[in-house]
Amino acid sequence: MNRDNSTLERASRVLALCTAASEALTLSNELKQHFPDATLTSRASLPITAAALALSRGEPKRVLELLDPVRPYDRAPSSEFWPAHLRGQAFLQLKDGRAAEAEFQSILSRRGEVPTSMLYPLAQLGVARAAVLLHDVEKARAGYVAFLSLWKNADSNLPLLQEARLEYSRLR
C-alpha cells in the first residue's frame, strides 16, 4: 500500500468506520510521525479519524468535541464532507434531528465541491432519518426515495440498504 499522507488518512478513516480501532490508530500514529508539519493532516484528518472511532464506539458527544476545532477545515478538499457527515451521525445518535439535518443538508447543498463523494447519497439518508426524528413524514419519505434511487443498483444485501428500506417501509 502507498504510504503517502492522503492514502494513510483515507485508510485510517475507513478502518475507524469499520471498527478496526487498533489498525486505525496505527495508521494515525504513522501519519503523526511521518507528516508532523502537514496542517490538514494534523488539524483535520487525524481528528476526523478520531471522531470516526468515537462514533463507532457510540460516543456522539466525543465526536462533536473532536470535530469542533475542525470547522475551519470543513471545506478543505481533503476533508471530503467527513466532518459534516460525522457530526450529522453524532446528532442522530443524540436524537437531535434539527442539528443532524443541518449537517447533512450542508453536504447536499455543496455537492459540486466533491461531486463523486460517497457521502452525498448518505446525506440523503441522513436527512431522511433526521426528518423522522422531527416527525416530518413527507421530508423523510423524500429523503428515503432520493437515497434508494441513488442506490438502486447497489447489492441488495448491504446492511445499510436493508435498514433504509425497512425504515422507509415503516413510513407508509
Q: Are residues 56 and 104 located together in one domain of the fold?
A: no
88 is a domain residue:
no
Query: From CA 8, how far away is CA 11, in angstroms rounded?
Result: 5
Range of the domain at 139: 96-172
Q: Are residues 25 and 70 located together in one domain of the fold?
A: yes
Q: Are residues 58 and 121 located together in one domain of the fold?
A: no
86 is a domain residue:
no
With beta carbons less than 8 A apart as the criterion, state whether 166 and 158 touch.
no
Q: Are residues 7 and 56 located together in one domain of the fold?
A: yes
pTM of the model as a whole: 0.92
84 is a domain residue:
no
With beta carbons less than 8 A apart as the criterion, state whether 134 and 102 touch.
no
Q: Are residues 6 and 65 located together in one domain of the fold?
A: yes
Q: Are residues 126 and 69 located together in one domain of the fold?
A: no
Q: Are residues 75 and 100 located together in one domain of the fold?
A: no
DSSP state of 114: S
Query: From CA 140, how far away is CA 21, in angstroms rounded?
Result: 33
Q: Are residues 70 and 106 located together in one domain of the fold?
A: no
Q: How confident is the model at residue 111 (pLDDT cuts 50, 70, 90)?
A: confident
pLDDT value of position 112: 79
Chain position carrying cell 493532516: 41
Query: From CA 54, how far away is CA 49, in angstroms rounded?
Result: 9
Q: For residue 97, is pLDDT > 90?
A: yes
Q: Which of 79, 109, 125 is the last residue of a domain?
A: 79
Q: pLDDT: is 3 or 69 the higher one?
A: 69
Q: Are residues 110 and 167 located together in one domain of the fold?
A: yes
Q: Are residues 101 and 168 located together in one domain of the fold?
A: yes
With beta carbons less than 8 A apart as the criterion, state whether 100 and 91 touch.
yes
Give phi and psi for 46, each to the nearest 5.
-65, -45
Tell me, what amino acid is at 65? Answer: E
106 is a domain residue:
yes
pLDDT value of position 1: 58
With beta carbons less than 8 A apart as the criterion, state whether 31 and 37 touch.
no
Q: For residue 110, is pLDDT > 70?
A: yes
Counting the structural domains of the chain, the total is 2
CA atoms within 13 A on the CB side of 139: 15
Query: From CA 139, how far away is CA 130, in angstroms rounded?
Result: 9
How far is residue 53 from each of residues 17, 103, 109, measured CA to CA in Å? 6, 19, 26
148 is a domain residue:
yes
Q: Are residues 2 and 64 located together in one domain of the fold?
A: yes
Q: Are residues 75 and 1 located together in one domain of the fold?
A: yes
